[in-house]
Chain A
């Protein structure tokens, strides 16, 4: 019992409504040109936004870099060329084309470390958003579906988590778990959690009163089926948008934790910890600090652009809070 319903329009543009009611409506409008598919319609709305396109291209490029880091990076990330410590970038008067973006204080190629860092950053983003989204959607669904004391308990807990500034909460979690890349991911997943819970809960409460849910319930669907198979797909849009924007938060917070020495530990080529470990050379060799930061900025910008574009294309009514 999984009828397409008008409520799925959250995913679609207005023009699609005609195709939604399934068989009957489609026959009635058979002579009209068939409306574009959902995917095409979505893509048209998305592609109108130039910023979103740029963001998507950047994200694709970053994924490519992350996947192919071993082949693309000119050097292994931790290989130390002791005769080339703090070599400036290639375009600098004293630079060498051997190391395009220069080398760090122990002679490691910065470009190679940055490329390998892409892999880490995207991994941190993927894992922490995945944990947070899954857990958040479940908690939100449960809270919004059952209401009552379960709802109150979950939402009060989320309020407590939201009362702490995000970085502070992450630091508190790392203080408990101990510093390190993996613990930083857990910390970030916890920090991001309340946003997903709130979104999922709000969407469930809005959807649960709709007729398609009632009809599904009358047809005998159990609570689990109603929550996950009937309601969840219809609240996917805001969650998808939040997940994309969550990527940028995750990457920023991971870099901040790395910078504070609480995230990835040296010699891991994580951008934030690369920046921190080169701090004392900032005056003599500004490039050791400039490029990792630029990498963070570009990556975060790419995900923000993509997220904004997705939000506008999926649902013009959604606004970033």
Chain B
């Protein structure tokens, strides 16, 4: 097991290096250099330009610049935003809990609804229930989530007035942020009204972001269950006279879950992609929203740092999922 973990960790090192190269290249591939972008429309006299280039270290050879960039990254220094002049790493750290909160509930929603739906479809194969679940999941899988989010707002917020349109909490609540997770912070402050407000703000973004993972999980659960239900040990369990639910839950589901867990883990990339759109639509103060603002205002340190950090998170989560998979399924470990 230890060797397996070591091998997997060693495998991601080149990927990390690649990501830093990509992030580094981003700044050098954009049209114009940072100094040019600073000077704006009026331009800048060559002498001052040369001095600034030297100040930023942009006149050194690329390899030296890359080495110093990696050095900075390793020290946790990702530069500062051109618009707010705040440290990029600090801005990311403040906003990231909001994204995690949203992504966590979206994934929870996807699993809680998707798993039973997939099991139902597999057990009731080729019935109306199966067709409904599969039809809905294919629709969910094909859904442009920015549009889906707008429809949800249109119906639940505008038409019915049940949920707020945007943001994380109503403006009148002032909760001290200690963990950055709104639900936890409001509970710690003991403010139930604020907690309810935060919860109601979370509902629609959760549904919007969770829909595609839900569809993926339902499909995966169904096909995995169908495969397991054909196995001899399931037939044997049935032949023993065990009740049907017991065979499904205890014998089939446990084995069917192995591939599903991997799929759940691999949703992280999808969730972060979706978070960019969902956060934009719901004005959710997370890293997706921040990154889009960064791109739109050509705030390159933000874009560079954001991409680097998100990629690092995705790689790490995938690594953890990979190892968990090795724990559940010993066959993988020795492959």
Contacts and interface: CB of A to CB of B under 8 A. Distances in A.
Nearest to A279: B150
Contact of A163 (B26, B292, B315): B315
B80 interface: no
Interface in B278-301: 280, 291-292, 295-296, 298, 300
A275 interface: yes
B15 A163 contact: yes
B142 interface: yes
B57 interface: no
A156 B269 contact: no
B144 A283 contact: no
Interface string B5-32: 0000000001100110110001001110
B144 A164 contact: no
Given A160-B18, A160-B22, A176-B29, A275 B146 contact: yes
Contacts of B273: 165-168
Given A164-B311, A171-B295, A175-B30, A282 B142 contact: no
Contacts of A101: none
A74 to B, nearest CB: 24
7 contacts: A51-B138, A164-B269, A164-B310, A165-B270, A168-B272, A175-B300, A289-B154
A168 B26 contact: no
B147 A296 contact: yes
Contacts of B143: 297, 300
Given A163-B318, A297-B147, 15 more contacts: A51-B138, A156-B18, A163-B15, A167-B276, A168-B310, A172-B22, A172-B26, A175-B30, A176-B30, A256-B146, A286-B154, A289-B154, A293-B144, A296-B144, A308-B138
B299 to A, nearest CB: 10
A252 B144 contact: yes
Nearest to A301: B142
A175 B310 contact: no
Given A260-B280, A297-B147, A163 B19 contact: yes
B325 interface: no
A260 B292 CA distance: 8
A42 B39 CA distance: 62
Interface of B: 14-15, 18-19, 21-22, 26, 29-31, 138-139, 141-144, 146-148, 150-151, 153-154, 158, 219, 223, 269-270, 272-274, 276-277, 280, 291-292, 295-296, 298, 300, 303, 307, 310-311, 314-315, 318
Contacts of B269: 162-166
Interface in A137-186: 156-157, 159-160, 162-168, 171-172, 174-176, 178
Given A176-B26, A283-B158, A160 B147 contact: no
B151 A293 contact: yes
Interface of A: 51, 156-157, 159-160, 162-168, 171-172, 174-176, 178, 248, 252, 255-256, 259-262, 272, 275, 279, 282-283, 286, 289-290, 292-293, 296-297, 300-301, 304-305, 308, 319-320
Given A157-B18, A297-B139, A319-B223, A255 B144 contact: yes
A168 B291 contact: yes
Contact of B150 (A51, A282, A301, A319): A282
B144 A163 contact: no
Contacts of A171: 276, 291-292, 295
B18 A175 contact: no
A260 B144 CA distance: 13
B276 A275 contact: no
Nearest to B135: A51
A172 B276 CA distance: 13
Nearest to A296: B144
B202 to A, nearest CB: 21
Contacts of B295: 171, 174-175, 262
A255 B298 CA distance: 21
A168 B307 contact: yes
Count chain A CB atoms within 10 A of each CB in B144, B219, B223 and give the residue with the most. B144
B303 A172 contact: yes
Contacts of A166: 269-270, 273
A156 B15 contact: yes
B138 A160 contact: no
B300 to A, nearest CB: 8
Count chain B CB atoms within 10 A of each CB in A172, A256, A275, A282 and give the residue with the most. A172
A159 B142 contact: no
Count chain B CB atoms within 10 A of each CB in A171, A260, A282 and give the residue with the most. A171
B277 A163 contact: no
A308 B269 CA distance: 23
Count chain B CB atoms within 10 A of each CB in A160, A162, A304 and give the residue with the most. A160
A259 B145 CA distance: 11
B310 A165 contact: yes
Contacts of A308: 138
B310 to A, nearest CB: 6
